[in-house]
Amino acid sequence: MAPNWPEEVDVFSVPHSRMKELVQGYLDQMTSTNFSNVIHLTTLLKHLCDTFREFKVHEQIENKYILCKLRQKLRSLSIRNSAVCNCHSDNRLTEMLELVEDGFDWTWRPQADRMHYGFKLRRALEDFTQTFIPHMEEEEAVFQPMLIEYFSYDELKAIKAEVIHQHLTN
């Protein structure tokens, strides 16, 4: 169903299209990676490092330019919303980035070790994806309507412009 607000005040959809493209990219690459091949594994790890760094930047931009503002607005209206307060508090981006960066140490180990690491990485990525996609859906379905409710059209237009600018320049 199409959202009830104009595209120019939709702060999540454009960045999330990019994040979903990145998710599809690593899912596709995972299925074609042969973990016993050092070049395959190294290529995957470089791609995942770039991807998870971009996820982190996305999260920092949301924190600074959307969620902080929403929390402040709710606080000024004496509204307490635990979903907004806890958004991003339990995500696994740092943990995933560490797992991926550790992977470079495994590229020089015996084939059986690389296969073991690959199995662990595959499971971690599947688990991460199962929470990351619903997380983005929650932002679009729950937080965007709150933004529409508590911010003016012009305020949201400015927030969206800043969010897009930050994604393009960070």
Tokens standing for 128? 């991460």
In whole angstroms, the minimum distance from the beta carbon of 62 to ligand FEO comes to 5
Pick 19 or 41: Cβ nearer ligand FEO = 19
Q: Which residue has the tokens 């495994």?
A: 106
Pick 33 or 144: Cβ nearer ligand FEO = 144
Radius of gyration of the chain (CA): 19
Provide the binding-site residues for ligand FEO, judged by CB under 6 A: 12, 16, 58-59, 62, 88, 135-136, 139
Pick 92 or 116: Cβ nearer ligand FEO = 92
Pick 50 or 59: Cβ nearer ligand FEO = 59
In whole angstroms, the minimum distance from the beta carbon of 126 to ligand FEO comes to 18
Q: Which class for 126: exposed (0-12), middle (13-18), buried (19 or more C-beta within 10 A)?
A: exposed
Q: Check if the beta carbon of residue 45 is closer than 8 Å to that of residue 139.
A: no
In whole angstroms, the minimum distance from the beta carbon of 16 to ligand FEO comes to 6
In whole angstroms, the minimum distance from the beta carbon of 119 to ligand FEO comes to 27
Q: Check if the beta carbon of residue 51 is closer than 8 Å to that of residue 26.
A: yes
Rounded Cα distance between 92 and 57, Å, is 14
Closest residue by Cα to residue 157 from 147, 143, 167, 170: 147
Pick 88 or 109: Cβ nearer ligand FEO = 88
In whole angstroms, the minimum distance from the beta carbon of 101 to ligand FEO comes to 21
